[in-house]
Amino acid sequence: IMKLASRVSMIKPSPTLVITAKAGALRAEGRDIIDFGAGEPDFNTPDHIKMAAIHAVESNFTRYTPVGGIDELKDAIIGKLKRDNYLSYRRSEIIVSCGAKHTLFNLSQALFDEGDEVIIPSPYWVSYPDIVLLTGARPVIVETREENGFKMTPAELEAAITKNSKAVIINSPSNPTGCVYSKEELAALAEVVLHHQLIVVSDDIYEKIIYDDFPFWNITAVNPSLKDLTVVVNGISKAYAMTGWRIGYAAAPEFLIAAMAKIQSQSTSNPSSISQKAAVEALTGDQQIIAGMVAEFQKRRDYVVSTLESFDGISCLEPQGAFYVFPNVESLYGLRCGNKKILDSTTLAEYLLDEAEVAVVPGIAFGNDRHIRISYATSMALIEKGLERIRMALKRLS
Ligand code: PLP
């Protein structure tokens, strides 16, 4: 009988994908499930981007490309980082991979060893701890406080640092909380990072999904002396509704990019040539399309936050970015409906799936068991219907 490698048991399957799969299975049985679990925009990829891909196919741009991406795309990324983030990089400091998740995987493989500690503020995106664990390094989880908008303070960061600390991951706007760090907050964190010479992994994937004109800042743009210590991670999945195209990228010091390219050369090789051409169009073409999507997300956010706030037992911070809310549901714990008792975020999510036919992700998946995550990357009609179902299901609890 085949015996699996021990690393398989070090990690778990992505819980958000598990919920989506479970909702899909129930739907296949004929149940009318509303999915608030999804982590992707419900919009279609804009037409001009699709046309660029069609053109790539028709002109036979269908062969291997350089491992780390074509120069045309690297130049588009360099232009974007300059235009949007006041950051200046050279081609040798850019790598394109098969999604930002792949970028994070490669940089972790290139940087982290057994014995290293990687600081991850909680609530965190589900994949960070597992990507770190696969390198043999130890994720060090820093609890942030809801009163601070789930943002890690310099003191909280300082307290987590040991002689083994190698890096800290910053994700702003955040999945799952939607919190966005201000320029001043990043400046204060940068002081701690510089003092301890930590590497900063800045996951900027939700940069464009931001509300009320809240300004987005990357920590290296705030404090340029961090440049040699920073890996900027970004991609096209969320901003351009291109999750399936699998393009992400990093900007970092040349030796790290070279190491990531070496790892990529022995695993995936280049990301899809066709997707790369589409990504060039996404980054250099009409940027107004993003504003249209964000305006729609903002309408939904406003509706979801105010509706949830009106429910007994739920309180909900207003997020400044991404397309999730992360309501506090702790005061529902201990309530029951018949033989179903709500004990934690997992039993609440199960109750909502069974009783309300609504899929949400338990907060424990993101390191916080007092909350659930609701994605509003779905139509207003489904949001209204789903929230009403949740309201009815909660009324049955006592
Ligand atoms: N980072 C965060 C915080 C995310 O939420 C996601 C996707 O859910 C990713 C990275 C990965 O995006 P992709 O691999 O589609 O580029």
Architecture of the domain spanning 63-284: 3-Layer(aba) Sandwich (3.40)
Residues in the chain with pLDDT < 70? 14-16
The whole-number pLDDT of residue 15 equals: 67
Query: Model confidence over 79-100: pLDDT tens digits?
Result: 999 999 999 999 999 999 999 9
Picking from 323, 356, 365, the residue whose alpha carbon sits closest to that of residue 123 is 365
The whole-number pLDDT of residue 213 equals: 92
Cα(206) to ligand 1 centroid in Å equals 8
Nearest-atom number in ligand 1 for the CA of 101 is 14
For the chain, the 3-state helix, strand and coil shares in percent, each to the nearest 5, are 45, 15, 40
CATH 3.90.1150.10 domain residues, the chain:
6-44+289-395
Picking from 100, 74, 364, the residue whose alpha carbon sits closest to that of residue 206 is 100
The whole-number pLDDT of residue 64 equals: 98
* Pocket lining: 347 vs ligand 1, CB cutoff 6 Å: no
The whole-number pLDDT of residue 211 equals: 98
The whole-number pLDDT of residue 102 equals: 98
Nearest-atom number in ligand 1 for the CA of 235 is 16
Quickly count: other Cβ atoms within 10 Å of residue 213's Cβ: 6
The whole-number pLDDT of residue 12 equals: 81
* Pocket lining: 320 vs ligand 1, CB cutoff 6 Å: no
CATH 3.40.640.10 domain residues, the chain:
63-284
The whole-number pLDDT of residue 19 equals: 73
The whole-number pLDDT of residue 13 equals: 76
**Amino acid at position 256, single letter:** L
Instruction: Spell out the residues 6+ positions from residue 120 whose beta carbon is closer than 8 angstroms to its own.
Output: 128, 129, 132, 139, 140, 141, 142, 168, 169
* DSSP per position, 374-395: EE--S-HHHHHHHHHHHHHHHH
Return the residue whose CA atom lies nearest to atom 8 of ligand 1: 39
Nearest-atom number in ligand 1 for the CA of 39 is 8
Nearest-atom number in ligand 1 for the CA of 16 is 8
ipTM: 0.99
* Pocket lining: 178 vs ligand 1, CB cutoff 6 Å: no
Beta-strand relationship, 94-97 and 34-35: unpaired
Pocket mutation for ligand 1, best pick of 108, 124, 175, 179 (most atoms within 8 Å of C-beta)? 175
CATH of 6-44+289-395, one of 3.20.20.140, 3.40.710.10, 3.90.1150.10, 3.40.605.10: 3.90.1150.10
* Pocket lining: 271 vs ligand 1, CB cutoff 6 Å: no
Instruction: Record the pTM.
Output: 0.97
